[in-house]
Structure 1
């Protein structure tokens, strides 16, 4: 086989065979396929598509381009993936809930992308915690704590790592087939018994419309199931931040309020809902109603908090983190409020603009080499439909410098619209697929 023939097939609208896609993925991993050929392949897929069978074949080929994990545990290995949003720290709540309910969660996560925060960056806001662990350490933490949230090794789906970088510079990121293969190749390589996908839609999501989110969710669910991993998806709303805080340490604080202080709201609601889907699919609950009760009980009785604390300690964080989390999390030196310019109702929140403002504060990366400041971000963000008076805080800025806080305040003023009429507020969960 050779790359030119495979690219030529794509150009003509023909789908490469399973063997051809497997050969191409192996070439991506070992670099026998050049950057130019990888870019041409990505463009061909983007323009012509692969169809359902081709999408599955590419996903499996990229999964098999590196190591595949397998688990010998007394319970099912489960995981979730979110397509990205703002204030979305569900993984840090869902993983310990599932662990407390008898499942194991070997969660391989990523860092911030664009305007959305990264689960690994949030975890590393906890002092001393390391997400870059060896496979033996990964297995030990999963076995002892029931959950581990770690970065992918270079040996997990290396074809995806290479192709993703090529897609980023060739304008081929927004291909349904390539997005699906990228997400699932890494998850399937983790050796899962079940997966739930949280597909976001709205102003703070990559998928702005419900139709686009539904299309992606359908492609992900059908591909994962055809690849042998029982999978469901939930389409959830991202027209406002999921949690009232944005930024790594600030979102960890919201997680601890849910796990340790009994805080309930949109963040806890979605965490429980996604956990319940996995518990039912894995046979750990008879139905959704029972699964929701089990997940809520794990929060209420402290079992989920105990699992989270055990995971943090095993990954190098403070042993008593759940008891003294306020003392451990970093704080920004500059904290200032952004007052409402007029009285009215919060009519719209541009989530993407808020996320980019957090990145500009230093809470995310504008280039790969940037160092993230875990303390910066926004807290106490107003909710969609809230009635505010002139001068009332819309949110609090946490910044490293005064000038950064002023720039963030200007961005917030543009991102939050105060109007006279109450907006239509979409439900948190739009629908479930699979």
Structure 2
């Protein structure tokens, strides 16, 4: 007489047990079995539904009334798959500079056969590129380091297999998508390009999340002319962009924000050292307004004031050009134009001047300087390589004006007229 299954390995439940008896003479009349010492039952099979280790006793009787010696078989039944593994690293959507990132997950449990093996599957573009088999350690969290990955997007999924035979139960985590960023993290000064004196912040963006606690000591701010400027560094969450706040009202000048490798990404990779510049301008620049009539036939008249204004009067001011550029002016039929306007200066601290530049197709060139006077001059016509443009440039008259303690004022162009 035999039983199947006939070994004590873990099997999937519910388990179907079958008995086979043979008799060469009178034949088999009855098979009797019992489960875990319970009452006997007749028949050639039984079903074990409960998970655990079970004992099955069985015997057979032939037609002549002879009964075989009782036999016992230990059977193990596993009722279901392991609990689902949960990936904790990399985080969903993570960006890392680590080309061999660690995959860490909360371990699975299995009340029957136990967890026998983990499979960590990495995909790129839907195709499996790595499959790491990991034996459980018994720790609350398991981990494995991936083989080298190139820059790009990936997904990782963890499967847990138990000890059932011949086919184990499986459970699977969801897919976690992450990106490997080639090289160390980088930062870029994103704003401002030019700021007014009331602007006290600049922003820096990172190409991946950073460890915010490493940023304050990694950033410095300096001013030309001048020197280092106290600055406070804060970061959003996740830390993909930092705000640099000037601790005192910023003076006019060129500011350089510098950062060092002391800053690190979330996964511990040092930041690429670099810097970025922005300006703080006490003078505000203006452009020709849309109300200026540079269309149709001459004369073209722009009655709006064009102003470069220092509204704050706080020293020191730094030499810098303030430009006013006209819309494109199409010169039909060649010839020349005459530009006339009135320019005035009201600065209190320096002998300033300006200049007039014209681009008739080959780039801007200076055609006159202005210093508190009305100017009439010829403007070359376009030569077919493009329409003409006029640019007025206000130049401060000294490199710095440190003595200008009350230097408010304006450079103004009024009553601009273009005629043939």
Task: State the TM-score bracket (shorter-chain normalisation).
Answer: under 0.3
Compare the two structures and name the one with the higher strand fraction.
2
Greater Rg by CA: 2
In the superposition, the TM-score normalised over structure 2's length comes to: 0.21
Compare the two structures and name the one with the higher helix fraction.
1
* Larger RCO, structure (CA 8 Å, separation 6 or more): 1
